[in-house]
Amino acid sequence: MHSSDINKLKQYIEKIENLEVEKTEIQENISDVYKQAKSDGFDPRIMKKIVKLKKMKSEDRETEDMLLDTYMLALGLIPSDEKR
């Protein structure tokens, strides 16, 4: 490997390491927000689901809801005359 390639590689590794540190800090900040929300009476588990659902396309969300209903119905978790 040429010295210029070695230097580029080192720069990439350093950049990745710095981004990993930032990612950890961001994850800690997100965790703190969920803890604050919980102390205000909100359910973090449900909030995480909402964040996930908001990232989804409408048609993907509808498909997921339909499959969830189908599976729950098949497993007897919801009565056949009741659909969400």
Please indicate, yes or no, whether residues 49 and 73 belong to a single structural domain of this protein.
Answer: yes
Please indicate, yes or no, whether residues 52 and 76 belong to a single structural domain of this protein.
Answer: yes
For residue 45, count other CB atoms closer than 10 A to its CB.
9
Query: Are residues 47 and 31 in contact, defined by beta-carbon separation less than 8 angstroms?
Result: no
- Please state the domain count of the chain: 2
Q: What is the mean pLDDT of residues 51-75?
A: 95
Please indicate, yes or no, whether residues 36 and 53 belong to a single structural domain of this protein.
Answer: no
Amino acid identity at 12: Y
Q: Tens of pLDDT along 20-55?
A: 999 999 999 999 999 999 999 999 999 999 999 999
Domain coverage including residue 28: 1-42
Q: What is the mean pLDDT of residues 73-77?
A: 93
Please indicate, yes or no, whether residues 14 and 51 belong to a single structural domain of this protein.
Answer: no
Sole residue written with tokens 């981004």: 19
Please indicate, yes or no, whether residues 37 and 51 belong to a single structural domain of this protein.
Answer: no
**Average pLDDT taken over every residue of the chain:** 94
Put simply, whether the predicted model's pTM sits higher than 0.85 gets the answer: no
Please indicate, yes or no, whether residues 37 and 49 belong to a single structural domain of this protein.
Answer: no
One-letter-per-residue 3-state SS of the chain? CCHHHHHHHHHHHHHHHHHHHHHHHHHHHHHHHHHHHHHCCCCHHHHHHHHHHHHCCHHHHHHHHHHHHHHHHHCCCCCCCCCC
Please indicate, yes or no, whether residues 50 and 35 belong to a single structural domain of this protein.
Answer: no
pLDDT attached to residue 80:
78
Residue 83: pLDDT above 80? no
